[in-house]
Amino acid sequence: MGYFIVMKNQIRVRFAPSPTGPLHMGGVRTALYNYLFALKMKGQMILRIEDTDQSRYVEGAEEYILKSLEWCGLKFEEGPHLGGEYGPYRQSERKKLYNIYVDKLIKSGVAYYAFDTEKELDQMRVNLKKAGVQSPQYNQITRQNMKNSLTLPVEEVDKKLSNNEEYVIRIKMPRNQTIKFKDKIRGWVSFSTNHLDDKVLYKSDGMPTYHLANVIDDYLMKISHVIRGEEWLPSAPLHVFLYESFGWEKEMPEFAHLPLILNPDGDGKLSKRDGDRLGFPVFPILWKNIKTNVNIEGYREKGFLPEAFINMLAFLGWNPGNNQEIFSLEELIKEFSLEKVGKSGARYNYQKKRNGLINNI
């Protein structure tokens, strides 16, 4: 434990994409902000492939991620392609390790087995909607009427486990507690546990969910700062609760949740559909879909230099506080700080960004 405390002064960030498709420009911006922060603070940046959802794995996606980041000029100290002291760096290769920690949660009473079938879960949702519940959840109240190790006799639970019946492992979220943490972009954020559900930590296929795996990996890989998209903010209280449940409060990283990149209309998160509709790319380089044999051009194929693409992305959520519009990567590293990242979503106007870069280069 003392070794970790000494190392805590070392800034370590991670970019942890899932190989479920091509890397979107929003993902590249997350990688960029991690990279700028790490180098500004003379820290380390690692790449981790979060492939726990094997059902959504897309062939060629991991290779595409590596090639995209290489084109952008973003480099890593550790990763699946580099190795490192804290590997392996693909979550699918760390399965045995997660088993140890989920067992600890079961034994401490923070997690429990749930044997409910899909049919039973669907019926629960139907019943709750009939009762006027708009967003049915498996939570502190509904778990009492479900088939899990909190409601079943110990002998029956043991029998189900010995018979290898399918189950998931859920977090046992307490009632009437407040989970609070300080976000480096948003300030203090608090959540009532009464509004949180009992998320699945371990799936029936024997793989951990993102929530469990990312907390364990961030701890073991000594990550000091988690810089990720705003869409993960609702999951943050569960992650904080897991750190507390493992007794890792002192080792918990600082969080920074980045604003969304909005579509040109400003009414939603930028998506591939927006690019198709308005005629601009959303991927950094050419994506070749092996399954469908469809090729989708990226910014590289549209004639963008990687320096121009990176410069454009940097300004989608960050402001240097002066009138300078064109930065080299070295200048971005020097000027970047999380304090200058905004809380509100950044609207993306491709034509304006493109013209601005052309006119200033």
Angle, CA of 219, 222 and 225, to the nearest 5°: 90
Q: Tell me whether residue 272 is one of the annotated catalytic residues.
A: yes
The angle subtended at Cα 212 by Cα 208 and Cα 214, nearest 5°, is 105
Pairing mode, strands 178-183 and 225-229: unpaired
Q: What is the DSSP letter of 15?
A: E
DSSP secondary structure of 310-358: HHHHHTTTB--SSS-----HHHHHHH--GGGB-SSPEEP-HHHHHHHHH
Contact 338/266 with Cβ under 8 angstroms?
no
Neighbour tally for 10: CB within 10 Å: 12
Q: Tell me whether strands 12-15 and 44-47 are parallel, antiparallel or unpaired.
A: parallel
> DSSP label at 84?
-
Q: How far apart are CA 142 and CA 127, in angstroms?
A: 11
Q: Which residues pair with 258 in a beta bridge?
A: 229
The torsion of the CA quartet 240, 245, 251, 254, rounded to 10 degrees, works out to 0
Rounded CA separation 66/62 (Å): 6
Query: Which of the residues 8, 104, 184, 272 is marked catalytic?
Result: 272
Would you name the residues annotated as active-site residues?
Answer: 272
